[in-house]
């Protein structure tokens, strides 16, 4: 049996700075870019050698350069994983300090005072989070006097860092067996396949097959994040190439001009997303999926969903795309922040799931084809969260806004969703007539519609023709919009109306996109459902 770890004292825990650990992890992650640049330089050097040098010596030199390049590439996931470990440790420190504060406050209400000197020991001079190494394979040394200075990665974090250190020697990567799960594989089967690989085989897949590793539901969030970050440079290069091709077209018509603006917006959105990924901001962002085709798709988690006790999946609606991924991610982050205010001792994660082609125009949003096409992917993603979660199952909540609520409802109706609660805000209907058709536990379907949300003007599809006929005059147009039962929307009964059979929470007058406004009670409602409160 291993010896028990050091006991964390009141003074140490109340004064430790989680932000310093988060910043150190981010610095480690920045070394990944250094390694990638060095690997690129080796590639260029090898190309230059081949143009003017031949023979056995040239072949040996080329093989050596290739080996060095592969070693550098294999170190990139290690730098990213170190960032993941330290970021998670910082998050645990935040939660532990919140629990300490709550305990001290509770004690004070009963007249019990806590001596801040309990288990106190002076902080060793110069003790700080481990600095990034000057050389790649030199691991940071822990602070001195570990028995009296415990605020360093302990328990799970220490073991993971130790495994990384050991793996940095021989056997860092190893080619796995030839079997690969198909793209639409059941997440439970993917998880079993991944668990059956050695750590060296998993690293090989991250480095050599990031496309596969990054998109498979059932692969843990940490590995998907490493793989997708490795693809960022190539994804941006694809967008730049598309932009250059459109720019070179002469003459340039309206379609080309619109395409050029779209690619420029996607590039700007991708750069904003990269800035958030590289930020020292807490919680750390995990890139679980990225596609720059069309208008772009992105799946980003704030906090590690595999280790959170409460996980929110947010599905945005009409016009959502890569160009505004950071804006949509900000909505998920505001729910997470409000949850942290309500329950600071709880570890939560919020995921932006922009894994479908959202409608761009009103006439597209009036039909459910894109929602039906997205259903299986959302179902598989939620199953993947269940399969990869570490420890007791998390409470999983799926939130849909506007057309995204139809995506959520359609997925639950047609495929089932691994969720403990569903939340719909600003919904045009969710594809069913009653909450019971969504397959959720009783009382776990929630909705809110603002009094001034224009979504209230939507009506069922069979009334569209009538509205079109009445729209010949302004008076007729208004009459057409207001025709029909008040609780019927484009895609079924309004989930925020009593007849739907769900539960509701209030919203202030902030319009269709204001549910995340800091002063809107709807923000509290979404956070409380996420926490199961």
> Rounded to whole angstroms, what are the CA distances from 84 to 15, 320, 453?
23, 28, 40
Alpha-carbon distance of 127 to 149, in angstroms, equals: 9
Q: Domains in the chain, ordered, with CATH?
A: 1-110 (1.10.287), 284-531 (3.40.50.1820)
Q: What is the per-residue pLDDT across 383-397, written as a single tens digit (0 to 9) for each?
A: 999 999 999 999 999
Assign 176 to helix, strand or coil.
coil
In this prediction the pTM is: 0.81
Q: With H, G, I as helix, E, B as strand and everything else as coil, classify residue 470.
A: helix
Q: In this structure, are residues 398 and 427 in contact, taking their beta carbons and an 8 Å threshold?
A: no
The mean pLDDT value for 299-326 works out to 97
- The whole-number average pLDDT for the span 344-369 is 93
Task: Give the separation between CA 279 and CA 23, rounded to whole angstroms.
Answer: 9
Is 80 exceeded by the pLDDT of residue 7? no
Mean pLDDT, residues 208-231: 97
Work out the number of other CB atoms within 10 angstroms of the CB of residue 66: 13
Least confident of 44-53, 131-140, 473-482: 131-140
Contact (CB, 8 A) for 232 and 290: yes
Kindly report the number of other CB atoms within 10 A of residue 393's CB atom. Answer: 12
Pairing of strands 395-401, 310-315: parallel
Q: DSSP letter for 438, please.
A: G
pLDDT at 356 over 50: yes
Mean pLDDT of the chain: 83
Q: Structure tokens of 529?
A: 């459902």
pLDDT at 443 over 80: yes
Mean pLDDT score, 177-201: 96
Structure confidence at residue 171 (pLDDT): 62
496 versus 41: the higher-pLDDT residue is: 496
Side-chain half-sphere of 181: how many Cα atoms within 13 Å?
25
- Please provide the DSSP assignment of 144-171 as one string: S-TTT---S--THHHHHHHHHHHHTSTT
pLDDT over 60 (residue 165)? no
Q: Which of the four pLDDT bands, split at 50, 70 and 90, describes residue 158?
A: low
Give the position of tokens 């009445």.
470
The one-character DSSP state at 487 is T
Two tokens, residue 420: 């403990």
- List Cβ neighbours of 280 (8 Å cut-off, separation of 6 or more): 19, 22, 23, 26
For CA atoms 161, 163, 167, 173, the dihedral sign is negative
Compute the distance between CA of residue 223 and CA of residue 384 in angstroms, rounded to an integer. 13
């Amino acid at each position: 049996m291993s010896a028990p770890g050091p006991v964390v004292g009141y003074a140490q825990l109340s004064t430790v700075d989680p932000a310093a650990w988060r910043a150190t992890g981010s610095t480690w992650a920045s070394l990944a870019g250094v390694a990638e640049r060095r690997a690129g330089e080796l590639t260029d050097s090898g190309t230059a050698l081949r143009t003017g040098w031949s023979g056995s010596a040239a072949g040996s030199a080329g093989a050596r350069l290739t080996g060095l390049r592969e070693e550098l590439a294999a170190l990139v996931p290690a730098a990213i994983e170190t960032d993941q470990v330290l970021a998670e440790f910082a998050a645990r420190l935040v939660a532990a300090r919140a629990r300490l504060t709550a305990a001290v406050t509770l004690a004070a209400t009963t007249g019990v005072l806590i001596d801040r000197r309990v288990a106190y020991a002076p902080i060793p001079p110069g003790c700080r989070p481990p600095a990034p190494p000057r050389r790649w394979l030199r691991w940071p040394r822990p602070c001195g006097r570990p028995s009296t200075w415990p605020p360093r990665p302990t328990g799970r974090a220490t073991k993971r860092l130790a495994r990384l250190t050991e793996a940095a020697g021989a056997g860092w990567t190893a080619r796995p067996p030839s079997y690969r799960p198909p793209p639409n594989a059941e997440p439970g089967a993917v998880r079993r396949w991944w668990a059956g690989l050695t750590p060296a085989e998993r690293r090989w897949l991250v480095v050599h097959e990031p496309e596969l590793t990054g998109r498979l539901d059932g692969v843990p969030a940490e590995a998907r994040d490493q793989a997708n970050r490795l693809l960022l440079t190539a994804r941006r290069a694809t967008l730049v190439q598309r932009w250059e091709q459109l720019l070179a077209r002469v003459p340039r018509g309206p379609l080309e001009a619109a395409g050029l603006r779209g690619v420029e917006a996607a590039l700007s959105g991708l750069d904003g997303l990269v800035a958030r990924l590289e930020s020292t901001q807490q919680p750390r962002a995990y890139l679980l999926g990225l596609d720059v085709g069309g208008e772009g798709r992105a799946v980003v988690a704030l906090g590690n969903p595999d280790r959170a006790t409460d996980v929110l999946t947010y599905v945005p609606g009409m016009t959502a795309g890569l160009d505004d991924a950071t804006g949509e991610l900000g909505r998920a982050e505001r729910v997470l922040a409000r949850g942290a205010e309500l329950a600071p001792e709880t570890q939560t994660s919020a995921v932006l799931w922009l894994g479908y082609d959202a409608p761009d125009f009103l006439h597209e949003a009036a039909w459910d084809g894109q929602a039906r096409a997205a259903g299986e992917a959302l179902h598989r993603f939620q199953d993947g969260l269940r399969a990869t979660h570490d420890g007791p199952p998390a409470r999983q909540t799926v939130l849909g806004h506007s057309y995204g609520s139809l995506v959520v409802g359609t997925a639950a109706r047609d495929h089932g969703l691994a969720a403990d609660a569903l939340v719909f805000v600003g919904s045009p209907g969710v594809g069913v007539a009653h909450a019971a058709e969504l397959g959720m536990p009783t009382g776990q379907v929630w909705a809110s519609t603002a009094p001034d949300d224009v979504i209230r003007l939507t009506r069922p599809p069979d009334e569209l023709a009538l509205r079109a006929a009445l729209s010949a005059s302004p008076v007729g147009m208004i009459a057409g919009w207001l025709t029909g039962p008040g609780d019927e929307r484009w895609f079924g009964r309004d989930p925020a109306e009593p007849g739907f059979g769900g539960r509701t929470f209030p919203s202030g007058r902030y319009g269709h996109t204001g549910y995340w406004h800091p002063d809107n009670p709807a923000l509290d409602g979404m956070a409380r459902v996420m926490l199961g409160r």
